[in-house]
Structure 1
Amino acid sequence: MACILDPAQFPGHRQAHHRFPGTTNRPATGPVEDPASREDADVTRSAPQTPPPRPTAADADPLDGIFLRGDVPRIVPVTDPATVPGADVDLLVVPCIAGPSGLSLPDDLPLPRTAVTDLWKTLMETGVTGAAGEVQSVPAPAGVRARQVLAVGLGSTDTGSTAGADGTADPTGRRDRRIRAAAGAASRALRSLPGTALTVLSLLGRYSPTAAVEGHALGAYRYTGLRTAGPAEGGIARLGVLVDGQLAAFARACTVVEAVATARDIVNAPTGSLDPARLAALAAGLAARSGIGAEILDATELGDRRFGGILGAGGGSVHAPRLLRLVHRPEPLAGQDRVPHIALVGAAVTAGSAGAAGVTDLAGSSAAAAAAVAATVAAAELELPVAVTATVPVVELASDAPALRPGSVLRHVDGTTTEISGCDPTTPTDPSDTVRTATSLVLADAVARAVADSPDLLVTVSAVTGSRTLPFGDRTAAVTGSPALRDLLVDLADRAGEDAWAAPLPVESDREIGSEVADLRTAAPDRYLPAFVPAGTPRAHVDVAGPAVNSGAPYGDIPGRASGRPVRTLVALLGSARDYADR
């Protein structure tokens, strides 16, 4: 688990326990020990903790020891600022600011005034400027029991007091973005320190508990897969985050961390370990632990119900496709007749052993499916007053997939016919066309099934189309769809620290999907899927082909490999469903 919580301390919040069967990499759940209740310290260091032993490749079952192997440090809330100076920890994380006149420190640090002055002088002598992302360790000043201070830069910001720490004074999310990035940079720096596991206390949570917990936990996330040798760098035994009295915000952040980490773990899993049957079964098991109903349709059932798009794209593989449906239906709140119903659709499209028209690298291909599953589970754990249905098709491409032959026509589950164009599985000249076509086909079936439930709004996610990657870069998702819902998603993404941009569809989109021999012709999902959504249903499509996987250097709270996007955006949307429905 990412964060250790006592459910009894947080009414209305259920204990997160998102682990697949057989995994032991994350610390077991247990009650919180509030470090402020100890006489000697805020964060203990008398009994350093190390991650449990990892199974070796020889010991691992195909479903055991592969998933949820990402390591996240144990995080505990610290509620009493008065105990900070006497905290017996290895490092104290302190924010610093690039002010108009140079380096400055927040004016309400819970440290003796003389210690703040001495720390400022030391940082100035060391050359610290407070620039965003800057990290520097220095000896702790007199009056502070910690061995070292880790100064992290917030850049030029107005984060100088605890006013609005609950987020009310940060309407744009800019402060949270800076704190989240600083926490992530600090955690990576702590991970790189040699030696035994460290005990740490961070003061960043005083200015935003949510951003600090997410940044520290997700910035420290480390996926080692089936490496038999342990990581060369050190670790974090325990990380305390000063949250004052905002335990509810801390608890919610822990659940979001677990959701994002779960999505990362699924995407990071070794190629071939998650065929359609295994991925669907794992996701259903994860959902069941949170009280979410699940249904899995195999190839026979897909055929009986005429899911032509899913069978057409994945029917040629030795691993038959699956369609996973997760159904979360909470009771209405007092005074409400019903709860809003949101439909999430995300596909996993992977390459089979045949290479599928030269498609051998589909990094992040399961990101959309992982995000839909993780966000649905988070909604249940947070007990959000929203009904959620996640429809997740999982297919493996193969070079002899019958529906991917140009000119062929298939029939979707709602009776709509589609002419295949723009790909040829026998000639690997442009594998992205094959992937884009397959993604559109399976998502179309999933959307047709999802709208049959008459949701209040529909959000689809794709991660392998690449149709919007070039104009928006590798860190920004493109959002299209109904203007109000599209703009809301972009706003929520910005507040959650996940870059997104509203992308209007060109006027020629309708012409792109026109066909003389069928109802439609294949195109990129953002252009093609709206044809399957009834008029009047708010819809949005999130393309994370760029940010789903970080192939460059880590930044902010994003490590290398899977980013976990757009889980936080989807969770934020689910939490805002009532406000949107009341518009």
Structure 2
Amino acid sequence: MSTPDTLTTLPAQVSPPEFALSALPPHAILGAEVLALPVLPGEGADGVLLGPGADQVAEELGTDLLALLEMCSATGKAGEVTSLPVPLGGEHNKALRWVLLVGVGQQRPLDLRRAGAALARATRDRASVATSIPAVAGADGLEAFVVGAMLGSFGFHWRAGPPEHVPVGRIVLAGLPDADDRNAELRRAVAVGGAGWRARMLATVPSNLKNPHWLAEQARELAGECALDVAVWDEEQLAEQGFGGIAAVGQASATPPRLIRLDYTPDKATRKTPTVVLVGKGITFDTGGLSIKPGEAMVNMKRDMTGGAVVIAVMGALREVGCPVRVVGLVAAAENAVSGNALRPGDVVRHYGGRTSEVTNTDAEGRLVLADALAYAVDKIDPAVLVDVATLTGAMKVALGQNVGGFFANHDGLAAAVSEAGEAAGEPLWRFPLADVYEDKLRSSVADADNAPGGPGAVTAALFLQHFVGDLPWAHLDIASVGDAPADLHEWTTGPTGFGARVLLRWLGDDPLEALA
């Protein structure tokens, strides 16, 4: 019996908007269906202010835009949108149909990101937009606006017909007098937004298509596009080379596990160029194994490989953000399934390097696969720093809700750098303690550690992983709290978030090892 194509191939997907830079004011961009102008909060009782390009648009349309804003009680709050229909078009641009007045708040990157996302939602299904919003942005504002517009546009469909909505086709960033000098800045912004988009897409793909082999093929394709080296371990190689955690978690599935390695080398690298290793959890579906999850808890488990998706997406964007160090991305990919060959509670797993774990809960599988990849990185790569990212513990969601991610670090400088990167990139993280007072909970009577020692769950999971990183500076991003967005909010769209891609690119695009000095 053959497998239907719909189970093996991904349909044509919606694409993010294209972007262009222009020194012309918005009203002079011919063919734009929508003009979007920035609205700034006024001071005291002064109401609101309109940004660059507004006077020309008001004159061309013969409309008092400030009166419109006053009538609509606009405040200039970031992301607030006031709409003016233009059914007959403009005097010089007959394609014009809407003018949007978009609040930009205090013009911080946070505000510009939210303005971009609001614009994206307000212009779905349109062909083109010209906007002067980035003209009021500071140094990081253009990137924030572009990232917000891209990620606020995200969509995925697998319907028989066309998608319900598509992103606006083209966004012209208008009114920038130095437009010709900002192409590199725009490329970086698109790369960062594109990494978030790719991570979401990979996490959203359903698991009747997505499995470890498929994920490895996505990595191979990316490597070809982005000049990366790639290697993939199959199930036989994993068993032969001692990757006992990955092999054990994936042994019950009809689709065997994989370990994926991607290598990025900067253009001016020398033998002295240091290496950073990123490790991602790639559980392409998590039933919980024999310690099976309740049905409602399984519904979104196609995204339990978000950490792996983030690592793959980040690797593809490193060259555009100018990452100055070597980076190795490792994705430990497996499907945690149920069969007669499933990993059992009470089994003992021998990890890469020899450390053993007693499996008391097969639903604590993520740390088993991450442990192998971390130990391999220490043994074979010897990096300057290690960072792993995973939707690891439900305890993190209990602690933080769904708008903030958690992380642990064994180095204060690294912790500060990760936290600052998260704040700057719009993916906030809260540091948790590696409290060794709970180390005794890891004890097993038959192995080096118990894989599920109980609460505090996020802390004990991090302590479990810490044994596999040696003395290296290490950060562990537990993004289970933010792996899914329950509803559209600013640049977040309902469903898998790809949280972590922007944090890592912000950190890696600067000098990631400066904090370790």
Matched residue, 2:484: 549
Asked whether the 8 Å contact 1:98–1:131 carries over to 2, the reply is yes
Asked whether the 8 Å contact 1:492–1:572 carries over to 2, the reply is yes
1:442 and 2:369 matched: yes
Asked whether the 8 Å contact 1:363–1:549 carries over to 2, the reply is no
Choose which of 253, 265, 286 in structure 2 pairs with 1:329: 265
Distance apart, 1:177 and its partner CA: 0.9
Matched residue, 2:152: 219
Distance apart, 1:365 and its partner CA: 0.7
Residues in 2 aligned to 1:401 and 1:101: alpha-carbon distance in whole angstroms: 72
Cα gap change, 1:102/1:553 in structure 2, threshold over 3 Å: closer, same or farther?
farther
- Report the AA paired with residue 547 of structure 1: V
Asked whether the 8 Å contact 1:259–1:375 carries over to 2, the reply is yes
| Cα offsets for 1:405-424 (capped at 9, x unmatched) | 33322211111112222x2x
Choose which of 290, 303, 315 in structure 2 pairs with 1:364: 303
| Cα offsets for 1:53-107 (capped at 9, x unmatched) | xxxx9765713427xx2431222222x14x4332332221112133332532255
Residues in 2 aligned to 1:354 and 1:555: alpha-carbon distance in whole angstroms: 30
Matched residue, 1:268: 204
Asked whether the 8 Å contact 1:76–1:240 carries over to 2, the reply is yes
Matched residue, 1:389: 328
Cα gap change, 1:555/1:390 in structure 2, threshold over 3 Å: closer, same or farther?
same
Residues in 2 aligned to 1:59 and 1:277: alpha-carbon distance in whole angstroms: 17
TM-score by length of 1: 0.77
Residues in 1 aligned to 2:417 and 2:67: alpha-carbon distance in whole angstroms: 45
Within 5 Å, give how 1:89-104 maps onto structure 2: 89-99=32-42, 100-101=44-45, 103-104=47-48
DSSP 3-state at the match of 1:214: helix
Cα gap change, 1:494/1:70 in structure 2, threshold over 3 Å: closer, same or farther?
farther
Cα gap change, 1:113/1:73 in structure 2, threshold over 3 Å: closer, same or farther?
closer
Quote the sequence identity (%): 29
DSSP 3-state at the match of 1:577: coil
Choose which of 155, 159, 170 in structure 2 pairs with 1:238: 170
Distance apart, 1:502 and its partner CA: 1.3
Matched residue, 2:20: 76
Choose which of 321, 345, 354 in structure 2 pairs with 1:406: 345
Stretch deviating more after TM superposition (406-415 or 444-453): 406-415
Matched residue, 1:36: none
- Report the AA paired with residue 110 of structure 2: R
Matched residue, 1:485: 414
Stretch deviating more after TM superposition (524-533 or 210-219): 524-533
- Report the AA paired with residue 90 of structure 1: E
Matched residue, 1:252: 188
Residues in 2 aligned to 1:234 and 1:462: alpha-carbon distance in whole angstroms: 30
1:153 and 2:97 matched: no
Number of residue pairs aligned between Structure 1 and Structure 2: 485
Residues in 1 aligned to 2:512 and 2:440: alpha-carbon distance in whole angstroms: 36
The unaligned stretches of length 5 or more in structure 1 are 1-56, 160-174, 424-433
Residues in 2 aligned to 1:559 and 1:102: alpha-carbon distance in whole angstroms: 35
Matched residue, 1:509: 438
Asked whether the 8 Å contact 1:403–1:409 carries over to 2, the reply is no
The unaligned stretches of length 5 or more in structure 2 are 453-459
Cα gap change, 1:508/1:353 in structure 2, threshold over 3 Å: closer, same or farther?
closer
DSSP 3-state at the match of 2:245: helix
Distance apart, 1:229 and its partner CA: 2.1
- Report the AA paired with residue 543 of structure 1: D
Within 5 Å, give how 1:97-176 maps onto structure 2: 97-99=40-42, 100-101=44-45, 103-106=47-50, 108-109=52-53, 111-112=55-56, 115=59, 118-139=64-85, 146-155=96-105, 157=106, 159=107, 175-176=108-109
Cα gap change, 1:581/1:337 in structure 2, threshold over 3 Å: closer, same or farther?
farther
Give the structure with the larger helix fraction.
2
Stretch deviating more after TM superposition (388-397 or 482-491): 482-491
Matched residue, 1:27: none
Stretch deviating more after TM superposition (113-122 or 554-563): 113-122
Choose which of 409, 414, 419 in structure 1 pairs with 2:358: 419
Residues in 2 aligned to 1:368 and 1:418: alpha-carbon distance in whole angstroms: 22
Cα gap change, 1:464/1:510 in structure 2, threshold over 3 Å: closer, same or farther?
closer
- Report the AA paired with residue 36 of structure 2: V
CA RMSD, Structure 1 to Structure 2 (Å)? 2.8
Matched residue, 2:387: 459
DSSP 3-state at the match of 2:249: helix
| Cα offsets for 1:304-325 (capped at 9, x unmatched) | 1011111111112221111111
Choose which of 171, 174, 177 in structure 1 pairs with 2:110: 177
Residues in 1 aligned to 2:450 and 2:209: alpha-carbon distance in whole angstroms: 33
DSSP 3-state at the match of 1:94: strand
Matched residue, 1:86: 28
Asked whether the 8 Å contact 1:554–1:560 carries over to 2, the reply is yes
- Report the AA paired with residue 99 of structure 2: V
Cα gap change, 1:513/1:557 in structure 2, threshold over 3 Å: closer, same or farther?
same
Residues in 2 aligned to 1:97 and 1:299: alpha-carbon distance in whole angstroms: 57
DSSP 3-state at the match of 1:131: coil
Residues in 1 aligned to 2:143 and 2:320: alpha-carbon distance in whole angstroms: 16
Choose which of 491, 499, 510 in structure 2 pairs with 1:576: 510
Within 5 Å, give how 1:284-303 maps onto structure 2: 284-303=220-239
- Report the AA paired with residue 312 of structure 2: V
Asked whether the 8 Å contact 2:250–2:337 carries over to 1, the reply is yes
DSSP 3-state at the match of 2:123: helix
TM-score by length of 2: 0.86
Residues in 1 aligned to 2:127 and 2:386: alpha-carbon distance in whole angstroms: 45
- Report the AA paired with residue 241 of structure 1: L
Distance apart, 1:267 and its partner CA: 0.7
